[in-house]
Amino acid sequence: MDNAPEIWKHVDDNAPELIALSDRVWGMPETCYQEARSCAEHTAELRRQGFRITENVAGIPTAVMGEAGEGGPVIAFLGEYDALPDLSQEAGVAEPRPLEKGANGHGCGHNMLGSAAMLAAIAVRDWLKESGTAGRVRYYGCPAEEGGSAKTFMVRDGAFEDVDIAICWHPHSVCDVMVAESLANARIDFTFRGRASHAAASPHLGRSALDAVELMNVGVNYLREHVPPESRIHYALIDAGGIAPNVVQANATVRYLIRSPDLKGLLPLIERVKKVANGAAMMTETTVEAHTLSAVANLLGNAPLEAAMRQHLEALGPPDFDDDDRDFASAIQGTYGPEEISDSLHMFGMDGVMPGPLCDRLVPADSPRLGISGSTDVGDVSWVVPTVQMWGATYAIGTPFHTWQMVTQGKNAAAHKGLVHAAKVMAAVGRQAILEPELIAAAKADLRQRTEKTPYVSPLPADLMPPLEM
Ligand SMILES: [Zn+2]
């Protein structure tokens, strides 16, 4: 690793525009495939920066790709900009204060995620130009990470086919190279159909779809004891069949989110949940139809890229937070309990090690981390392209994900510092890969080894199109 400050200068030079982009996207929170304005902002910035632009990637109107540079290897930075429903919140206040009741909010920091990834891409582009080096750098604006698994569709469409390595990050309260692997998951709607009838006069003629949903949920709750302990099965009622208790409900839909440590475990688990659904249909003399909405693979690590990223992260150190940042972070910490704080540190094996309200040291390489129990569609990219990611520190330690506390911190000074910090680490990895073909070769060999015995199969049903109207 040499001369990283050279690329960090390009990050600093471009930071103001990309911080502004992050703040603008924060202010127009859009969810799952509806990110028209956010994607337009990202596209406009790419255009302003002189990138060659491909819109409508994989037939998704809110996906965009920008490329710069000529020849050489192809380095991809993955960005996101989708928000979450019902998380509207004023910025920079340590109390819940919705801007608009029921509206969306950036509760997972994807406004920063996309901007920092683009900032890294721009810095690498500037360095390529200045140094006259051959190489191409791309920014992928990927929508619908929350519940839409757009990257899984983009992988299926071949959007990453000629990419040599992919680099990404996610905002967090701690700074670390992501080494743990995330879970594979699938979202499936089970729709039961029975026969409507008057619930008092002729209940014997009715066949209740709502009964079937309830029996399916009971069945799955019994199934839980007999699945691998790392599996997760969640459900939500999408359609309970109506609000009238005096009719037998003819239609009802329950949405299942099924997670497993890897694809190999996910696919049989889905089949077992389907068996329970069929059993519920049989018991109630209804029919059931399973419709997959989205699915993602587990995240594969990549040892050579993680080692490279760690070197750059250690050379840079943690973000440079100041007392104002820490004061506000302390106020935020006052809105949740000590359990959140200790749990968050425990995830990284940092119990009792980081006493301040913001990340002031890096997680050591040998820290006893726990695995991640969430899922991400970066997983699918990691099966086809060597991929490396980091957690960047932007939030008060312990901030729970998908909460108003995340939204309110999304455009304060600590968030801006954290996003520039992450861009520096990512850009340095990209630059190193362009300069060192042997790093790309080692990363590819590592991926080959991980997928040799279980090649990638898309978890998406072959005929499933991106659920653009979700
Ligand atoms: Zn997220």
**CA 171 to ligand 1 center in whole angstroms:** 8
**CA 349 to ligand 1 center in whole angstroms:** 22
> What is the pLDDT at residue 122?
98
**CA 192 to ligand 1 center in whole angstroms:** 32
User: 65 near 118, Cβ under 8 Å?
Assistant: no
Per-residue pLDDT in tens (0 to 9) along the chain, 470 residues? 556 789 999 999 999 999 999 999 999 999 999 999 999 999 999 999 999 999 999 999 999 999 999 999 999 999 999 999 999 999 999 999 999 999 999 999 999 999 999 999 999 999 999 999 999 999 999 999 988 899 999 999 999 999 999 999 999 999 999 986 788 999 999 999 999 999 889 999 999 999 999 999 999 999 999 999 989 999 999 999 999 999 999 999 999 999 998 888 999 999 999 999 999 999 999 999 999 988 899 999 999 999 999 999 999 999 999 999 999 999 999 999 899 999 999 999 998 888 899 999 999 999 988 876 678 899 999 999 999 999 999 999 999 999 999 999 999 999 999 999 999 999 999 999 999 999 999 999 999 999 998 899 898 988 889 988 86
**CA 377 to ligand 1 center in whole angstroms:** 10
**CA 243 to ligand 1 center in whole angstroms:** 34
State the Cα torsion 431-432-436-437 to the nearest 10°. Answer: -60
**CA 156 to ligand 1 center in whole angstroms:** 21
Distances (CA, A) of 317 to 118, 312, 320, 420: 21, 9, 9, 13
**CA 449 to ligand 1 center in whole angstroms:** 28
**CA 106 to ligand 1 center in whole angstroms:** 9
Q: Which two tokens stand for residue 218?
A: 């009971």
> What is the pLDDT at residue 209?
98
Q: Which residue, chain included where needed, has tokens 């680099």?
A: 167
Q: Which amino acid is at 266?
A: L
Helices 209-223 and 263-284, packing angle to 10 deg: 140
Burial of 194 (0-12, 13-18, 19+ CB in 10 A): buried
Q: Which two tokens stand for residue 259?
A: 């997670």
**CA 21 to ligand 1 center in whole angstroms:** 18
The CA distance from 233 to 235, in Å, is 7
> What is the pLDDT at residue 372?
63
Q: Which string of DSSP letters, residue by residue, matches 392-436?
A: EE-S-TTPPSSSHHHHHTTTSHHHHHHHHHHHHHHHHHHHHHHH-
**CA 161 to ligand 1 center in whole angstroms:** 24
**CA 40 to ligand 1 center in whole angstroms:** 20
**CA 172 to ligand 1 center in whole angstroms:** 9
**CA 338 to ligand 1 center in whole angstroms:** 23
The CA distance from 37 to 60, in Å, is 14
**CA 220 to ligand 1 center in whole angstroms:** 27
The CA distance from 33 to 59, in Å, is 11
> What is the pLDDT at residue 125?
98
**CA 467 to ligand 1 center in whole angstroms:** 19
Beta carbons within 8 Å of 238's beta carbon, 6+ residues apart: 189, 253, 254, 255
**CA 170 to ligand 1 center in whole angstroms:** 7
**CA 310 to ligand 1 center in whole angstroms:** 22
**CA 17 to ligand 1 center in whole angstroms:** 22
**CA 145 to ligand 1 center in whole angstroms:** 7
**CA 109 to ligand 1 center in whole angstroms:** 6
**CA 198 to ligand 1 center in whole angstroms:** 46
**CA 32 to ligand 1 center in whole angstroms:** 12
